[in-house]
Structure 1
Amino acid sequence: MTAPSSASHAVARAPTGVANSTGTSGDYGPLALIAGAVRRERALVITTFAILALALPTIVALTVETRTLAGLNVWIKPLKFDASVALLLATYAIGFGLARADDRRRLWVRGAVGLVIVSAVLEIAYISFQAARGEASHFNLSSRWEIVAFQLMGMFAVILTAGAAVAAVLVWRAGPGRLGNGLWLGLVLGFGLTFVLGIVTGFAIGGNGGHFVAAAGAMPGNDLGGIPVFGWSREVGDLRAAHFVGLHVMQILPLVGWAADRLAPRASPWAVLVMALALTGLTVWALVVALSGQSVVPAGW
């Protein structure tokens, strides 16, 4: 008896709802992934759009608000979290949506989806609530209930990041199917590395008691003067840079894999591996530089 070919193995393990084929991501790309997520993971998709909808009144509040926190408008932080959490949930919807039908029905998988959604909603709700009060949500130890709330936020952040590990396992078990080797490997490594790098950099921020690290002890008093959009400090170490890169590996690697499948199919896994090493190295570099008290932004920027 001869062993089944790799192509037949890929067909046998194609995600449910995707026609069996030995094709590549040329016929099953980003739009198909999104459509599959909408069909198969509606709870995650609905929560994503709910959080995006919440961003609209946040933008309105931002335009009329005069209060500041850490030197910035109190609604800046909730708006950033609305965008980042919505993107995270949308990416998870794609990953969970690619799981085999029998895996998606498993209790632990549905439980993981539920925990991710609850954690996301409570995280956004608390950050917005504190902004409305003009109070900090992170590292706020000014009262007993805020200490408890901050500890719960840490737990929610771990759960949200752990969702990436579950997605990595599910996509791995589903096999390439019509995804193409580069796109499939990009999804598996993207989710897996996001979990590892997100946890490491997140705990670095929590263990440091904040995102700033000053080499000479001259800690900045606010977030003013950071680079546009991201807000990372130009003057001292800022752990948020490493955390940002680590969390977004799960979006970057699948795009690299999909593009490589179309341009150079035979080399696409290698392209994903090289980019995975580069992003891991970039995250580690940003973390080490920040922990040394230096800004990752070149002087003068």
Structure 2
Amino acid sequence: MLPAGVPATLYAMADKGNPLVTLRAWHRPLVVLAGVMGLLCAASLLGLLFDDRTLVNAPIWLKPFKFSVSVGTYALTLAWLLTHVRRGRRAGWWFGTVFAAGIGMDVGLLVWQLVVRDHTLHFNKATPADVAINNVVAAGAYTAWLMTAAVVVLLLFQRLPDRALNSALRWGTGLALAGMGVAMLMFSPSPAQRAVLDAGGKPSTFGAHSVGVEDGGPGLPVLGWSTVGGDMRIPHFAGIHALQVLPLAAFGLLLLARRYPVLSADVVRRRLVRIAGAGYAGLLVLLTWQAQRGQSIVHPDFRTLAAAFALAAAVVTAGAVVLRPRVSAEILRSAR
């Protein structure tokens, strides 16, 4: 049983019937994309087991595996999110469809470039074919970014049954948009590439994941994030997956309302979600700042640790204030 005050929220946001029937109501092109990513994930796992080729000091199937998991998760989340669009539903369908086409094309080219051609994809300017493939991938990525921005705007005009989840989706898509935007910082020339350009040459690569060190150095297992320098993939990853983290946080608060009556009011949960969203935005800024200083995620300096502590303290304090009986009562009165 759900507590008084939220008797229908869970049922309004999730169908308790046949999951296959529910899935058919989701955005079909995005569901298809997620299914293809599932197949690619399985193929990549087999490749990791039986194909010993490497590229830039990493297994050649590792990047397809990581992209399949990330893109598949993102596609399913976006497909579910679009089922809650009431105003501008047709526009939302097209935004999701164009997103699926752009990202699907990019992942297909990634597999072709890495596994079939045995060439790196991102930043590769070695041959005309590499340049052409990079340009197409960039077009797909920018298209996906624009479609995500369009969905963010669309969500501003929606009113979902649960105000906390409404805020979570807005914050989540907005931060996902920011996370995609962070990736653009990777396409600036490194100091070594800048030196080649200044000398009138043409570097074979333009841009890098790492900051302060060359790509392909020591990294975290599976993730590959640099352990000796900054890595812009970290804030990029954190940003795009805010679209899963914040809605899950909203659902978690709703489930906790069974045990803690103060959470039964969606206005209280909405305040907490907004605090979580602001904290997540601060984390995204912190990770970007750390990476841009050429600092590894596993070797933070005093300034990074101090900023992280201050951010955590601010989030915890704000949440504690909202949950104080007097404050939560005032929030409820103001919402009536």
The amino acid of 1:79's aligned partner reads F
Please list, as runs of the form range in 1=range in 2, the aligned pairs for 1:49-60 lying within 5 A after superposition: 49-60=35-46
Output the aligned Cα RMSD: 2.4
User: TM-score when scaled to structure 1?
Assistant: 0.81
Please list, as runs of the form range in 1=range in 2, the aligned pairs for 1:102-251 lying within 5 A after superposition: 103-106=88-91, 109-132=92-115, 133-177=117-161, 180-199=162-181, 201-208=182-189, 209-214=207-212, 219-220=213-214, 222-223=216-217, 225-251=218-244
> C-alpha separation between the residues in 2 aligned to 1:23 and 1:184?
17
Tell whether the 8 Å contact from 1:181 to 1:261 is kept in structure 2 after alignment.
no
> C-alpha separation between the residues in 2 aligned to 1:250 and 1:196?
11
2:88 aligned counterpart, secondary structure: helix
Alpha-carbon spacing, 1:24–1:295, altered in 2? closer, same or farther (3 Å): farther
Tell whether the 8 Å contact from 2:179 to 2:237 is kept in structure 1 after alignment.
no
- The Cα shift of 1:277 comes to 1.2
User: TM-score when scaled to structure 2?
Assistant: 0.73
Structure 1: state its 5+ residue gaps.
1-20
Greater relative contact order structure (CA < 8 Å, 6+ sep) = 1
The percent identity for this pair of structures is 24
Encode CA deviations 1:135-158: one digit per residue, 9 max, x unaligned: 101111111121121122122112
> C-alpha separation between the residues in 1 aligned to 2:274 and 2:73?
23
1:27 aligns with 2:16: no
> C-alpha separation between the residues in 2 aligned to 1:274 and 1:245?
17
> Which entry has the higher C-alpha Rg, 1 or 2?
2
Structure 2: state its 5+ residue gaps.
190-206, 258-262, 301-336
- The Cα shift of 1:281 comes to 0.8
- The Cα shift of 1:121 comes to 1.6
- The Cα shift of 1:36 comes to 4.8
Count matched residues. Answer: 268
Tell whether the 8 Å contact from 1:120 to 1:160 is kept in structure 2 after alignment.
yes
